[in-house]
Structure 1
Amino acid sequence: MFEHFTHRLVETSEANINLRYGGSGPPVLLLHGHPQTHVMWHRVAPRLADEYTVVCADLRGYGDSSKPPTASDHEPYSKRAMARDMVEAMQDLGLDRFAVVGHDRGGRCAYRMALDHPDCIAALSVLDILPTYEHFTRTDMAFAMGYWHWFFLAQPHPIPETLISADPDTFYLRRGRTMFEPQALAEYKRCYSNPITINAMCEDYRAGATIDMKLDEADKFAGRRIACPVQAIWGLKNGLERWYDVLAVWREWADHVEGHGIDCGHYLAEEAPDETLAALKSFLQRTLKTR
């Protein structure tokens, strides 16, 4: 699925990060969502690598990256910790400044990286998300019903782990499976069927409801903003646009914001790879050439 890409397991100061990289040109880091792995980019990354050095990495807790022990404050699964991993992994590859594209949970790591490591991030593209703080503070019944898994996965161990482990396919594939290539789906299932991974993914959401929320809140009230250009794209069939003015919300966090909806569901890079690739290329060509 990643012909001409090189596989590496990069040892950072806190975790081992599983990744693939290929291509040449300005560097772009692609980060996946829940409960997937870097394989979710298989329809986009090879074509993006025609013009860019593309790195696809598994977040800590996911895929074949480390699943470190957690802590009472869930900091080991915070997006700040994940961001540290990715900055170090990119530096290990000799890439000190790069664009980052993140879908779902990867998008949360990506915007945290832009806030915490502004000198490293040249451009930021987020797929189908808003900042964690905005979701939680704007929660109403519609959001809670649509995003119920946020509140379920954040429950104390071992409640969600026990229930999910009884039938991982039913839980993780509840949105369907036809949008996934069989080879990609097999990879997701291999990873999300591992009880250690299930626990780590729950820790990701526990961190989201605790330390990630606190970090976002502190930045919001301190007036910290994302310095680099930001692109937000989202699936029109997933519902984000029904609840929010997506670009208006992101403009509360950054000065340079652009983007649009794409006619697909949540999994943009797999449901609408051509449209997703076109949007990314347009944004990257303009932002990476001018900075």
Structure 2
Amino acid sequence: MFTDFQNLTVETSDLKINLLKGGEGYPILLLHGYPQNRMMWHKIAPRLAKYFAVIIPDLRGYGDSDKPSGMPNHYNYSKRVMAQDQIEVMEQLGYKEFYLVGHDRGGRVAHRLTLDYPHKVKKLALLDIAPTYQMYSETDQEFATAYYHWFFLIQPFPFPETLINNNSDFFLTHCLRSWSKTESAFTPEAMADYLRCFRDPRTVHGTCEDYRASATIDLEHDRQDQEKKIECPLLILWGNKGVMEKKYDVVKSWQKKAVNVRGKALNCGHFLPEESPEETYKSLDKFLRID
């Protein structure tokens, strides 16, 4: 699936990040979402590698990266700390600036990274998210029903971990199938790797901590930066069969958070790079390489 990519481990000041690296050219950093790992980019990363140096890490707590135990205030899974991981990864690989693409949780890390390190990110693409602070602030029954996991995973340890670990295969498969709207979106190879990683109780704990941080320390950081805007060009892509399309004016939401925004819906559900790889690739290629 990543034939011409290297599998590397980068040791940051805090932990080890596992990643794939392939291609040559201007660097592009791809950040995955929940409950997946670096494999979610397999349908488009080899095509991007024809023009870019493509770096695809597992976020802390996910995949084959380190999975530290959560702190009482969840700070070590804050998007600020997860963004710092990626800054250190890129610096160790020799990249002082780069393009950045994030899906789902990776998009939230990418948003924070771009706010904290605006000189590092030259173009940003976010896939199928609205701003975290807005989504929590506007929570209603429809949102809470569709995004039930936002409220389940933030419950204190070890409640969600215990329930998920009782049948992690069922939980992960249910999430992927219920949030996607495209039959056979997930290849057997990718699904096998998602299941492999999610069978590790440390992954389940790390991913819960990611969400616990979003409902606590991340909201504090967001409140402090309410007036700060993304300065680089921003592309927003979302699925027209998912919650983003139903609940939000996605471009308008991000226009409040950035100075230069464009975006469109693709014909799919939540998992754009796997449900609609051709549209996703063409949209990213046009934004990053051509425009």
TM-score by length of 1: 0.96
**Residue 14 of structure 1: SS of its match in structure 2?**
coil
| Match of residue 143 from structure 1 | 143
Q: Work out whether 1:276 is the aligned partner of 2:250.
A: no
Q: Work out whether 1:260 is the aligned partner of 2:264.
A: yes
Give distance in 2, aligned partners of 1:238 and 1:42.
Answer: 22
| Match of residue 241 from structure 1 | 245
Deviation at 1:178, TM superposition (A): 3.0
Give distance in 2, aligned partners of 1:127 and 1:215.
Answer: 21
**Residue 217 of structure 1: SS of its match in structure 2?**
helix
Q: Work out whether 1:189 is the aligned partner of 2:195.
A: yes
Give distance in 2, aligned partners of 1:133 and 1:141.
Answer: 17
Give distance in 2, aligned partners of 1:13 and 1:97.
Answer: 19
**Residue 10 of structure 1: SS of its match in structure 2?**
strand
Give distance in 1, aligned partners of 2:259 and 2:143.
Answer: 26
**Moved segments of 4+, more than 3 Å:** none
Deviation at 1:286, TM superposition (A): 4.3
| Match of residue 227 from structure 1 | 231
Give distance in 2, aligned partners of 1:11 and 1:92.
Answer: 9
Deviation at 1:71, TM superposition (A): 1.0
Q: Output the amino acid matched with 2:163.
A: L
**Residue 50 of structure 2: SS of its match in structure 1?**
coil
Structure 1 segment 1-291 matched on structure 2, within 5 A: 1-174=1-174, 175-176=176-177, 178-220=184-226, 223-286=227-290
Deviation at 1:6, TM superposition (A): 1.1
Summarize deviations over 1:127-166 as a string: whole Å, max 9, x none: 0001110100011111011101100000000110011111
Count how many residue pairs are aligned between Structure 1 and Structure 2: 285
Give distance in 2, aligned partners of 1:69 and 1:198.
Answer: 11
Percent identical across equivalent pairs?
49
Q: Output the amino acid matched with 1:250.
A: W
Give distance in 2, aligned partners of 1:131 and 1:148.
Answer: 17
Give the CA RMSD over aligned residues: 1.0
Give distance in 2, aligned partners of 1:70 and 1:160.
Answer: 14
Summarize deviations over 1:174-199 as a string: whole Å, max 9, x none: 14283211011000000001111101
Give distance in 2, aligned partners of 1:64 and 1:138.
Answer: 34
TM-score by length of 2: 0.96
Conservation of the 8 A alpha-carbon contact between 2:235 and 2:261? yes
Conservation of the 8 A alpha-carbon contact between 2:130 and 2:248? no
Deviation at 1:214, TM superposition (A): 1.3
Summarize deviations over 1:58-82 as a string: whole Å, max 9, x none: 0000001011232111010111111
